Structure 1
């Protein structure tokens, strides 16, 4: 497989109903790609070392993004509501397949 692609297994329900726990999702590494609102991204958790999260971009500026889970239950997702805005440099890849 081309090294610019990552197949990641979803763990948890924070992105339900869009992504189900246990499903495998393909991401493409970011290489100068312009990020956009509503994209689903893979990023480093800002507070937990070596921990990746899959979230949707809710808002974005030049340096940071506000990331949210899709689950309508507000207690089901640890996201920017909990850990704040994420630096763009911590966003690793964008989802290309579901």
Structure 2
């Protein structure tokens, strides 16, 4: 996958190429990185870090310390596992 944007800086910069494993229901944990379909933009795939796993969904956030640099669960709420396409263990 190619990173677009700075929400995951300093982990990844815009244009970085990253390897992910296809998600087929594997157990995820806090700090893993996931690729998922944006809840309101179905053709957009987001790359974010898992901050918390709850019964009702997964809270994700970008790594960039600038709160305006990332569109994440602060903006669109929890992610459902069915939206996840790939992951990378932390």
For the criterion TM > 0.5, the same-fold answer is: yes
Q: From the two aligned structures, give the one with the greater strand fraction.
A: 1
1:46 alignment partner, one of 28, 31, 39: 39
1:87 maps onto 2:85 in alignment:
no
Question: What is the root-mean-square deviation in Å for CA atoms of aligned residues?
Answer: 1.4
In the alignment of these two chains, the number of paired residues is 90
Structure 1, unmatched stretches of 5+, are 1-7
Query: Following superposition, which runs of at least 4 residues in structure 1 exceed 4 angstroms of deviation?
Result: none
Q: How do 1:9-88 and structure 2 match up within 5 A?
A: 9-88=2-81
TM-score normalized with structure 1 length: 0.86
Larger radius of gyration between Structure 1 and Structure 2: 1
